[in-house]
């Protein structure tokens, strides 16, 4: 296969050199060119015909957001990876970029990192994302397999918790699914989105502003109650424990799983242990296979798993892996996930008026 052509856009000579050297060391990637500004980048795209663009957020003149907006007008399907800083401002602008159509993001190494460690950090994260976003999607083979149908829930068995796992493309997917749930949604919602600290808090705030439900970053010891959404805190695994009649959230910094912390597998495993057959899991867009083993745990406990379909996913790695493992009850396009969730939650319990009206729309 030909190498993946990457256009690097950054106003810093040092960063352009760092990225070029890091990417050039990967045999599957070819640095097709570099640009020091958004305007130059737009003129170079037709010249170098990149498969992926890395785009700095903070640039003089046409900044990263403005450049991204123009790229999306001219090249709506060209993958763009934002290069941001791990700061409050950087996180906020990155989330804005994702909402405007950026495919993914990578945070810049800290100033305290040595050049060698910075290059290794960039190489490890950025190359994987470039390959995932640019490679032809081979998931058609997976999607043609029959979805595994395990024993169904017994009649009247309610859903008592909704657990969601997602990664690349997840902020936009969550921005469609969470606001699609009604104010009187009768179960708690727990979410793992692969993101670092700061990002998860700001993501929760953005979703809270758009949703009828209360959306917050997870807090250790918080009680799970209906109509509340908890987003896993960056760099902490999210789990839960039952104490009497209450279920409380737990946070820990045990080793990453699937190179992730928080990890979907950790959350789903905990959900299966605490809720058993009353659990409903959803795996949405994301690279890698995090969530597959956790989905199997939920299924083995008698719960159900929905996955996002290939066509509406930015990357079908995580949901495709669940399907390949035979651990999905249903594959849904993104616009239908919230309705399918409400349908399954409504079955087996007396429907509140608001939920019944939402399901019948």
Catalytic residues: 167, 194, 290
For residue 26, give the DSSP letter: S
Helix (H/G/I), strand (E/B), else coil: 65: helix
Q: Compute the distance between CA of residue 303 and CA of residue 277 in angstroms, rounded to an integer.
A: 4
Asked whether 82 and 38 are in contact (CB, 8 A), the reply is no
The DSSP code sequence of 165-179 is EE-TTHHHHHHHHGG
Which backbone phi and psi does 247 adopt, to 5 degrees?
A: -115, 125
Q: Which residues pair with 234 in a beta bridge?
A: none
Residue holding tokens 């800290």? 110
Residue 336 neighbours by CB under 8 Å, 6+ apart: none
Q: Compute the distance between CA of residue 17 and CA of residue 43 in angstroms, rounded to an integer.
A: 20
Residue holding tokens 């256009």? 7
Query: Using N-to-C axis directions, what is the helix angle for 292-300 and 317-324, rounded to 10°?
Result: 40
- The answer to whether the Cα torsion of 347, 275, 173, 353 is positive or negative is positive
Strand 104-107 relative to strand 161-166: parallel, antiparallel, unpaired? unpaired
Residue 196 neighbours by CB under 8 Å, 6+ apart: 86, 107, 234, 235
């Amino acid at each position: 296969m030909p190498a993946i052509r990457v256009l690097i856009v950054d106003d810093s000579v040092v960063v352009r050199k760092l990225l070029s050297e890091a990417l050039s060391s990967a045999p599957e990637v070819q640095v097709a060119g570099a640009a020091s500004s958004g305007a130059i980048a737009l003129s170079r795209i037709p010249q170098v015909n990149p498969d992926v663009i890395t785009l700095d957020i903070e640039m003089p003149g046409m900044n990263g957001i403005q450049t991204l907006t123009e790229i999306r007008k001219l090249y709506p399907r060209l993958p763009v990876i934002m290069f941001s800083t791990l700061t409050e401002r950087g996180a906020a602008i990155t989330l804005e970029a994702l909402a405007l159509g950026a495919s993914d993001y990578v945070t810049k190494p800290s100033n305290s990192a040595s050049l060698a460690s910075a290059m290794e950090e960039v190489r490890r994260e950025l190359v994987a994302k470039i390959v995932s976003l640019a490679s032809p999607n081979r998931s058609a083979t997976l999607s043609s397999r029959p979805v595994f149908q395990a024993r169904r829930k017994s009649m009247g068995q309610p859903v008592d918790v909704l657990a969601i796992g997602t990664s690349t493309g997840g902020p936009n997917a969550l921005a469609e699914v969470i606001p699609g749930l009604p104010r009187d949604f009768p179960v708690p919602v727990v979410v793992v989105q692969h993101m670092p600290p700061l990002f998860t808090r700001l993501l929760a705030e953005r979703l809270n502003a758009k949703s009828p439900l209360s959306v917050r970053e997870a807090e250790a010891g918080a009680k799970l109650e209906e109509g509340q959404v908890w987003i896993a805190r960056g760099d902490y695994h999210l789990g839960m424990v039952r104490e009497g009649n209450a279920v409380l959230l737990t946070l820990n910094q045990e080793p990453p799983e699937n190179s992730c912390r928080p990890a979907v597998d950790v959350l789903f495993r905990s959900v299966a242990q605490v809720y058993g057959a009353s659990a409903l899991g959803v795996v949405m867009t994301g690279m890698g296979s995090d969530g597959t083993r956790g989905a199997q745990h939920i299924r083995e406990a008698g719960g159900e798993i929905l996955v996002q379909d290939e066509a509406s996913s930015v990357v079908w790695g995580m949901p495709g892996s669940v399907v390949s493992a035979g651990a999905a009850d249903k594959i849904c396009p993104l616009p239908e996930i919230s309705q399918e969730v409400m349908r399954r939650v409504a079955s087996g319990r007396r429907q509140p008026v608001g939920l019944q009206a939402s399901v019948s729309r």
